């Protein structure tokens, strides 16, 4: 069980993150894709009491983001976006990250 989980989606232009609705007034956030934005993302996750997350990426850029968050103390699981494509109801990164957040706590 991963009770303190977040759902993340990384892209070339932006990163999206979802936390439980009771952890922030805006539980889905968009961050830029530069290294400074990754620091802002990690800083936002701390007060939301997130310790782990599942990060979806189709390219190698996801590995660098995963390592960057790990260096900031987060346990991140990297998943291949191609494995989840057939799941119905998934459209955009902003809609996908809450879905990942919902699945990750149960393993």
pTM of the entire structure?
Answer: 0.75
Q: From residue 76, how far is each of 5, 19, 41, 59 by CA, in Å? A: 9, 14, 13, 16
Could you give the number of structural domains in the chain? 1
CATH code of residue 55? 3.30.420
Taking a C-beta distance cutoff of 8 angstroms, is the pair 15, 102 a contact? no
Ranked by mean pLDDT, which of 52-56, 57-61, 69-73, 97-101 comes out on top?
69-73
Residue 1's pLDDT is 62
Range of the domain at 34: 5-106
The per-residue pLDDT for range 26-58, each reduced to its tens digit, is: 999 999 988 888 899 999 989 988 888 887 776
């Amino acid at each position: 069980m991963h009770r303190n989980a977040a759902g993340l989606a990384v892209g070339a232009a932006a990163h999206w993150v979802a936390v439980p609705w009771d952890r922030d007034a805006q539980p889905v956030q968009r961050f830029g894709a530069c290294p400074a934005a990754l620091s802002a993302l990690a800083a936002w996750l701390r007060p939301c009491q997130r310790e782990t997350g599942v990060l979806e990426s189709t390219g190698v850029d996801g590995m660098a983001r995963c390592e960057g968050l790990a260096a900031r103390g987060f346990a991140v699981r990297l998943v291949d976006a191609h494995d989840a494509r057939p799941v119905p109801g998934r459209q955009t990164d902003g809609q996908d990250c809450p879905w990942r957040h919902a699945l990750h706590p149960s393993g």
